[in-house]
Amino acid sequence: MLSCKEITKLVSKSLDRPLPPSKRIIVWMHLQMCRLCSAFRRDQILLKERIAQEVSRESGKEMPQEVTLSAAAKQRITKAMDSQGS
Amino acid sequence: MERSELTKADQNRDPATWVDTYGDALFRYALSRLRKPESAEEVVQQTFLAGIQHRHQFSGAGSQQGWLMGILKRKIIDFVRQRDRSAQPAARAETLDTRDSLDSFFDSSGKWKQNVRETLLEPLDSVDRQEFWPIFHACLKSLPERQSSAFMLREMEDLDSGEICKELEISASNLWVLLHRARLSLANCMKRHWLQEKA
């Protein structure tokens, strides 16, 4: 029997690539009985989904338009571009 | 939507107009990833400089802003990697020490510790949408540098594990440990924040 510590490691790996079938069965059986590890899995799937949604919306778009480069930064960047550009 | 609004002139603007035309959009994107205005400014600058240098490579297919955005994404990854490399050697060693790194969550027999169980059972989706991102970013920031770098490159920049190992110069098994630890800590941190705010 694998401990919760070991099972969560496998759950974590399964988020990035499918587990081999033998491991998948072990994890599945454990999750049937263990609501703590099930909670861990549920959270991680949600976290992944929310992040993916956000990233696909091209982050930054949700930021208010008032968030802008400061005048000082614009000046500095323009200067750096001038000195490289020509 | 945005693409159709672009006129021909927008497709290939003179670099002298880039800062005013694209600066704010690139800055907001960079800020959403790096959180610190100074860091965001720095990568925006690097992006424009690289853009000037490689200007002739812009094919004119797609928008110029999209092209610059592509450069920006690469610059953000470079920035995260460099920040990671310059982290204190002690901090690097500590977070790569894999042996007992899960002790705050599991007891010696590998069971969930009593004091994390209650938080664990609180569903993460009870954190409402408005609150989700501020809490997420605060918690990401509270992770050890290596964990947050690994997590960011994996989940936000969507690099595959081989690329992340290369960027961070770590082994695949170290990467798994970092990601796993980051996931445990993030979810726990977010829910604790949320429970606190609710109370």
Tell me the HSE value of B96 on the side-chain side, using a 13 A CA sphere: 16
Q: Pick A81's closest partner by Cβ from B15, B37, B123.
A: B15
Judge: B112–A36 Cβ closer than 8 Å, yes or no: yes
Rounded Cα gap, residues A69 and B41, in angstroms: 7
Q: What is the DSSP letter of B55?
A: G
| pLDDT at residue B99, as a whole number | 46
Interface mutation vs chain A, best among B68, B180, B181, most A CBs within 10 Å: B180
Residue A65 lies in a domain: no
pLDDT tens string B43-82: 999 999 999 998 888 877 788 888 999 999 999 999 988 8
pLDDT tens string B155-184: 988 888 999 999 888 999 999 999 999 999
> How many structural domains does chain A have?
1
Judge: A36–B121 Cβ closer than 8 Å, yes or no: yes
The residue segments making up the domain with residue A15 are: 1-60
As a whole-number percent, the residues of chain B with pLDDT over 90 amount to 46
Q: Is the pLDDT of residue B5 over 80?
A: no
CA closest to A66 among chain B residues: B24
A52: left (phi over 0), alpha (psi -120 to 50) or beta: alpha
Rounded Cα gap, residues B128 and B130, in angstroms: 6
Domain ranges of chain B: 2-85, 89-198
What are the angstrom distances between the C-alpha of B12 and each of A86, B3, B24, B58, B67? Answer: 18, 13, 18, 9, 10
What number does CATH give the domain B2-85?
A: 1.10.1740
Q: How confident is the model at residue A77 (pLDDT cuts 50, 70, 90)?
A: very high
Chain A residues closer than 8 Å to B52 by CB: 81, 84-85
At the topology level, CATH places domain B89-198 in Arc Repressor Mutant, subunit A (1.10.10)
Judge: A42–B124 Cβ closer than 8 Å, yes or no: yes
Look at residues B186, B120, B106, B143 and name the one whose alpha carbon lies nearest to residue A6: B106
